[in-house]
Structure 1
Amino acid sequence: MITFSLTPVISRIFDPSDFGVAALFVSIATIISVAAPLCYDRAVVLPEEDERGALLAWLALLSLIAVSGLGMLVLGLLYVFGIPLPFADRIGAWIWLVPATVLLMGFIKIQEGWLTRSKRFKVMAASDVTQALLTTGGRLSCGALWGSSVWALIAGQLAGLVGQTLLMLRMAHPSSWSAPGARSWKALQQVAREFKDFPLYNATAAFTLSFSMNLPVLVLGYMFAPEIVGFYAMANRLARIPLNITAHSVRRVYLQRAAMLRNNGKPLRGMLTKTTVFLVLLGAVPFGIFWLYGEQFLTVFLGERWRKAGHFVEILVPWLYMIWNTIPSGALMVVLRKQALWLRIQVGGIVTRLGVFLVAYLMAATPEQTLTAFVAVSVLGQLIIIAITFRLERKDWEQRAQRGGPNR
């Protein structure tokens, strides 16, 4: 709510074109950071023993450092050999800060994994508030002093990430991962082999999903002027507010409880059904309001120059509503260790969406037409995911029941 309440001020300071370039920077860093820990951070909650959870946290950290370092090396080599840096014509020198941003984002994800395992949800909530305060405050301060600029938006983003990282270090130091033997190379290798499906499948699937979610920013940045990216980024940001307020917390809690139920030999169907129905009902009102009155609301809320962003909100809402409803389904894929299937689903989704954008580009479609086609395909994909997850849960329970599990 902090970000939401101060957005009208930010929208009147920064131009849509500057906002679009900053959104492109954040999207690139986000896409990479999701997979940089090789998704060991998502596996931290699964083992029954804290020692094995700690081993997974250290594996995630080592992987993150390696990926961030490799990213900086690749950028350096491209620069030395005179090869144009990706999106450098839009982002400028800020492209060099992408690896550092990936490192910060990835470390926060690892800490969240450990805090979820430890059920320290208040610490995570406090860190989220800190990040929002510093990001918004940094952007407002820089914008008020120096006016609209890309660097002010990116600097505010970095300030929020640094502040969140420092708070997590203070309230839940990584030394808490130091269970006996947690940093033994032999033990790390054993756990890495046991959970090899996470880097092989889950990391690739997470990268694919993140790429798919941020695909509109990348493609719109290629097809249209930066201000179109800015309109989309602002629309996406505001329409996601109902999603972002509770989505991460819902996923964390559901993942922890589902893993505990399965470890105790309990069925998951009831929890999956109740959580999905609850999310459908809970999200209907806020998402419905955005869908019906998005353009009018955002024009008043942000200012007349952001009217197109309001129209984009109305287009995006059905997609974001379905993402909200599939939170339990995505988490259950992790609990059931169906990373290979999840990867195939995500690859299929991204290929389909790329196809939609390609057709739109060849037909010289407008931004509105392009987004409408993208949303329609994405909604269908989310419905398919829900259906697949319920089928997987039923099959998993039947297999466990045959091995002597309790009855439903």
Structure 2
Amino acid sequence: MSQGAWRQVLTLLGGAGLAQAIALAASPLLTRLYAPEHFGVFALFASLVTLIATVATGRYELAVILPASDAEAWQVVKLALLIALPVTALTLLAVALGGNALVEHVGDARLAVWAWLLPVAVLLTALINTLTVWANRRQAYGALAVNRVAQSGVTAAASVGLGAAGWASPGLMLGSVIGQAGAAWLLVSRRPRGQGEAAQTTLAELAQRYRDFPRINLPHALLDAAQASVVLALLGAAYGGAVLGWYAFALRIARTPLAMIGSSVGQVFQQRAARLAESGGDLAELSRHTTQRLLLIAAPFGVAVVWAPELFAWVFGDNWSDAGLYARVLAPWMILSLLTSPMSQLPLIVGRQGGAFAFGVVYQLAMVLPLALGWALAWPVLHTLTLQSAAASAVLLAYGVWLQRLARSGR
């Protein structure tokens, strides 16, 4: 990446870092207001939102970066959001018909009314995802950084306030939705205008042009989202709500910062790679340089996670040391996720979504099968998570090699 590109990355990383600092600062309060089981239920809710929101836009939001003109790109934004409306309506209908069954499965009758948050969260997620890609296309990285900080701050304040008010069961979910609403409002109010001349291409023509996104990328993304839900469901069924909560909290504290870094780098990488592919530029150099910088970022995390159990107990309370153990076991997988995630858009750009889908299927199996095996054989949870981390890391390592080869060949 050029120096200009890394300035853009640093802008996003500054926002991501401040957003994560806010979340981390609130976490010692949250762990004293909410039990591990509450974090487990929230993780299930969030995974379900992600699963439905993945379908909601047909993945057309990812195509916003590709058109040559902003006018056509804005048409793709409209296409993605128009698809999201009936999906949200169907989610609302599903909650009306089956919300009580979902609550009974989770096991907390106090959550019945909060099942209605699901369609709201789905629509907000679809809106945020789509307008984020639009802002990325327009290189509005300052606005994206501010948006992340605002969402994190509002979510943290709402979650702490609701927990302190005694709303422990729905507090994390409601706090998250309030934060999403704030982020969506900022993106809508700050979105760059002036798309220029009206697009000559119809929504139907754009849907046909970018049909590979719902046809190939959507199943891949759906597998990813479903895998997260299945992993959480298996953990909860096999080891109970407390273990599920510790696992979810380990990901919240250890993986989320890495994911935010990967997302920040990935947004700039996607924009640069799309332009290089269009002009016949050097994708291999971009990919190599990006990976080298990410290795420098990952190194301190790899050292710090060795003391994760002690750090978790000291910062969040003795009840959370097991979450630190889980974070240490899962660290290799988290680091490799950071190294590969920014370049995961490369197959979309060069038209190799089929290969990415094949890797995605193998990766989902690597994440789910160790948990099923551990449940069936009644393994201790640390044994199960160690196998999961090793299997997923092996797949991600192979995926990273394939992505680098893809960058070199350009196809």
What 5-or-longer segments of structure 1 have no aligned partner? 398-408
Taking the aligned partners of 1:25 and 1:188, their CA distance within structure 2 comes to: 33
> CA offset at residue 124 of structure 1?
0.9
1:73 paired residue number:
93
CA contact (8 A) 1:37 1:106 kept: yes
Give the match for residue 402 of structure 1: none
Deviations 1:79-120 (A, max 9, x none): 6xxx93377433631233212111111110001010001100
In the other structure, the counterpart of 2:17 is none
Whether 1:391 and 2:405 are equivalent positions in the alignment is yes
Deviations 1:361-380 (A, max 9, x none): 11012221221111111101
2:101 to 66, 80, 84: 84
The answer on 1:208 being equivalent to 2:237 is no
Q: 1:345 aligns with which of 359, 371, 374?
A: 359
Match of 2:410, SS? helix
Q: Does 1:199 align with 2:218?
A: no
- Post-superposition shift, 1:213? 4.2
Q: In angstroms, what is the RMSD of aligned CA positions?
A: 2.0
Distance 1:77 1:10, change over 3 A: closer
Aligned-pair distance for 1:341?
A: 1.9
Give the residue type in structure 2 aligned to 1:273: R
- Alpha-carbon distance between aligned partners in 1 of 2:300 and 2:395, rounded to the nearest angstrom: 23
Residue pair 2:246, 2:323 contacting (<8 A) in 1 also? yes
Question: 1:310 aligns to what SS in structure 2?
Answer: helix
What amino acid is aligned across from residue 168 of structure 1 in structure 2?
Answer: L
C-alpha distance 396-87 of structure 1, shift in aligned 2 (>3 A): farther
**Inter-partner Cα distance in structure 2 for 1:375 and 1:32:** 26
- Identify the range of structure 1 (378-387 vs 210-219) with the bigger mean alpha-carbon deviation: 210-219
Show CA shifts across 1:348-394 (max 9, x none): 22134332222111101222122111111110110111111122233
Do the aligned partners of residues 278 and 213 (structure 1) sit closer, same or farther apart at CA in structure 2, a change above 3 Å counting? farther
Q: Match for residue 7 of structure 2?
A: none
Is 1:335 the counterpart of 2:349? The answer is yes
Deviates more, 1:353-362 or 1:369-378: 353-362
- The corresponding residue for 1:293 is 307
Match of 2:34 among 14, 18, 42: 14
TM-superposition CA deviations, 1:187-216 (whole Å, max 9, x none):
111111110000111122112123334543
User: Which residue matches 1:109?
Assistant: 129
In structure 1, which of residues 259, 279, 303 is the aligned counterpart of residue 294 of structure 2?
A: 279
Bigger mean CA offset, 387-396 vs 38-47: 387-396
Q: State the 1:77 CA deviation.
A: 3.8
2:180 aligned residue? 161
1:177–1:25: structure 2 CA closer, same or farther, 3 Å change rule?
A: farther
The 5 A counterparts of 1:222-237 are 222-237=237-252
Structure 1 residues 313-337: Cα deviation after superposition (integer angstroms, max 9, x where no partner): 1111111100000023302122112
* 2:231–2:368 Cα contact (<8 Å) kept: no
Alignment of 1:179-194 (within 5 A): 180-182=197-199, 187-194=202-209
Matching residue within 131, 140, 164 for 1:144: 164
Residues 1:6 and 1:78: Cα distance change in structure 2 (over 3 Å): closer
Gaps of at least 5 residues in structure 2 are: 1-20
For residues 167 and 89 of structure 1, what CA distance do their matches in structure 2 show?
Answer: 33
Specify the code of the residue in structure 2 equivalent to 1:163.
G
- Counterparts of 1:177 and 1:376 in 2: how far apart (Å)? 49
Q: Among 319, 343, 347, which residue is 2:333 paired with?
A: 319
Opposite residue 65 of structure 2, the aligned amino acid is V
Given residue 330 of structure 1, which amino acid in structure 2 is its aligned partner? S
> Which residue in the other structure is 1:238 paired with?
253
- The amino acid across from 2:347 in the alignment is M
Counting matched residue pairs gives 388
What SS does the aligned partner of 2:378 have?
coil
Match of 2:346, SS state, is helix
1:246–1:227 Cα change, 3 Å: same
Taking structure 2 as the reference length, what is the TM-score of the superposition?
0.89
Q: Tell me if 1:375 matches 2:392.
A: no
Superposed displacement of residue 271, structure 1: 0.8
- Amino acid in the other structure paired with 1:370: T
Amino acid at match of 2:128: I
Once the two structures are TM-superposed, the CA of residue 241 in structure 1 deviates from its matched residue by 4.1
Alpha-carbon distance in structure 2 between the residues aligned to 1:156 and 1:86? 19
Q: CA deviation at 1:181?
A: 4.2
Contact 1:295 1:311 (8 Å CA) reproduced: yes
Q: Distance in 1 between matches of 2:324 and 2:311?
A: 7
CA contact (8 A) 2:117 2:174 kept: no
SS of 2:65's partner is coil
Distance 1:393 1:210 in 2: 26
Q: Secondary structure at the match of 1:119?
A: coil
* Pick aligned residue for 1:307 from 300, 321, 327: 321
For residues 395 and 229 of structure 2, the distance between their equivalents in structure 1, rounded to whole angstroms, comes to 16
Q: Is 2:355 the counterpart of 1:355?
A: no
Post-superposition shift, 1:246? 2.1
Distance 1:177 1:216 in 2: 44
C-alpha distance in 1, partners of 2:75/2:384?
45
For 1:256, the aligned partner's letter is Q
- More deviation, 248-257/388-397: 388-397
One of 264, 276, 281 as aligned partner of 1:266: 281
Matched position secondary structure for 2:332: helix
Bigger shift: residues 335-344 or 135-144 = 335-344
Return closer, same or farther for 1:2/1:54 CA change in 2, 3 Å cut-off: same
